[in-house]
Structure 1
């Protein structure tokens, strides 16, 4: 039913008891599809209009909420208080709305950090974490906490000199040790903030912890790490690697997927990684992709044994990436 995403209902969808589940004119999103499954609505009863949904431009939504969050975060420098209530009211609802946009690859492009990385990163990680939470079937109350925790995960960087955060060269050992302290600073800032529960404070502290104990700041392992922190860690890595940053260019799609699978970015929670990557990759069927040799093709079939090496159609020819080690997907077209 993923092909239904973003389409407009012509008629009300009614369940077996005669109750309208989704009203006519609704633009179907992921939550609607889940509702259709749970209510066991016959897909033959679903009729769409030929209209295109009038959704706000994703990039405009992201830019707008980045500016709002930037102002709110910077208010800390004057008041020395985390504006938690304002972020919950003015930022989190937009983060959640962006995460519901039907084309996740257009969404990924819109949230990539480019010019104002620090603040775009906060929103990008908030959106990606919300997506993962929804794919892990979190309830709305849990999802709201996760969105807030993810958006605030790097708030401790407000106490790190901006010239260090934006340094184009490799950090020295002393500078890296200073940047690492943002996890401690964030925890301390949020611990003193009214309304910040343990998931929010621990996410700021633990989003760089890894399952094998090789993360920081405390070297925690597996069950010692907060469950929300594990989700944010995956979103944090994906957004950082897919964004242009002061000291590196954005990585190609295939490299990020492969390296996350291999654990090249540290021992991330395997269940969270699996849910995230499989939900991304299964949405590539029917998409145009740019291969590493420059050719453009369409993904027509996923390899069940390795979904990252699909069957590609190029000008009537079919190419199995599972049999061509040197050919990869460089980019998903939007």
Structure 2
């Protein structure tokens, strides 16, 4: 039964609540079925089929639609959380399975297009960080349990911003010193919010607290050093930098992919965990092989090979000619869907 469920039902979205024979709610309508969820529930095929009537496979849907839906879902949950602190746990049954699907998405260019859109940025950022952190945790061979914690931590890392004024969060320009000081309080607020009622374990709460801390002690809010920062938080820090820099914002365009990956590489010398940062840059570019990229001259090339010593300057095919970008003044601005 389990093997059959995994093969047939992973990636499907429930169109009805899934309930047990005793009438207990097992999964809410809108939940995207994942392998871990299917292993936990004990229901018949008929019960699943009823809850899935007319469902389409989310793996085959456009990642942009999935991201938009997940961002809206997390926005609604955060709004409920302001009145009901236990509402936050809905994320694990609704948003988390979608993020886990997105983290396995092979259409990287389309995935990034959805993650980097400036619309609904505040909530889309949580999705983006969670997806990227889940990918990195997998590349670093964290255990399945720890990877799931990191994925959830990515969804919750910025929850402290609920305590900040909308004027500061959406200001289309440079922040004043006072406004930036307010922004720098969000990790502390997030940690305190997640500790309420002891719903979440300390390592998940620490991802909210420490994602702006840096290896050399120059981060905030407590200027922790490399030996004081939780490994999960170090993963979230890299994902946070990547998504924040590459995303379009109301006051600026996202930076080029080359610039962001180079920044992460440079920050590995003191700011970001060096092993994690190097793994992220290398594996991200390996995943880009076979994808198409826009170059700094506006032309489109196919990434065909990456050099281990310089992964952000790959070998590309342009007009049937193979070009080593590291030997030119060209660089990748973004991946594009073929």
| TM-score bracket relative to the smaller structure | 0.7 to 0.9
Q: How far apart are residue 264 of structure 1 and its match?
A: 8.6
Matched with 2:204 is: 200
Matched with 1:41 is: none
Aligned counterpart for 1:300 among listed residues 297, 301, 304: 304
Secondary structure at the counterpart of residue 224 of structure 1 = coil
Matched with 1:329 is: 332
> Structure 1: which 4+ aligned runs deviate by more than 4 Å?
22-27
Aligned counterpart for 2:239 among listed residues 235, 238, 254: 235
- Compared CA separation, residues 177 and 264, structure 1 to 2 (3 A): farther
**C-alpha distance in structure 1 between counterparts of 2:191 and 2:99, whole Å:** 22
* Contact 1:302-1:308 at 8 Å conserved across structures: yes
Q: How far apart are residue 279 of structure 1 and its match?
A: 0.9
User: Structure 1 stretches of 5 or more lacking a match?
Assistant: 1-18, 33-52
Aligned counterpart for 2:78 among listed residues 34, 53, 73: 73
Matched with 1:56 is: 61
User: Which range moves more in the overlay, 207-216 or 288-297?
Assistant: 288-297
- Compared CA separation, residues 188 and 255, structure 1 to 2 (3 A): same
Q: Normalising by structure 1, what TM-score?
A: 0.81
User: Which range moves more in the overlay, 220-229 or 290-299?
Assistant: 290-299
1:286 aligns with 2:284: no
Q: How far apart are residue 25 of structure 1 and its match?
A: 11
Secondary structure at the counterpart of residue 251 of structure 1 = coil
Aligned counterpart for 1:269 among listed residues 250, 273, 279: 273
> How do 1:133-172 residues align onto structure 2 when only pairs under 5 Å count?
133-172=137-176
User: Which range moves more in the overlay, 149-158 or 55-64?
Assistant: 55-64
Q: How far apart are residue 24 of structure 1 and its match?
A: 10
**C-alpha distance in structure 1 between counterparts of 2:9 and 2:223, whole Å:** 51
Compute the RMSD of aligned alpha carbons.
2.5
Q: How far apart are residue 78 of structure 1 and its match?
A: 2.6
Q: Normalising by structure 2, what TM-score?
A: 0.80
**C-alpha distance in structure 1 between counterparts of 2:116 and 2:291, whole Å:** 19
User: Structure 2 stretches of 5 or more lacking a match?
Assistant: 12-34, 36-57
Q: How far apart are residue 71 of structure 1 and its match?
A: 0.6
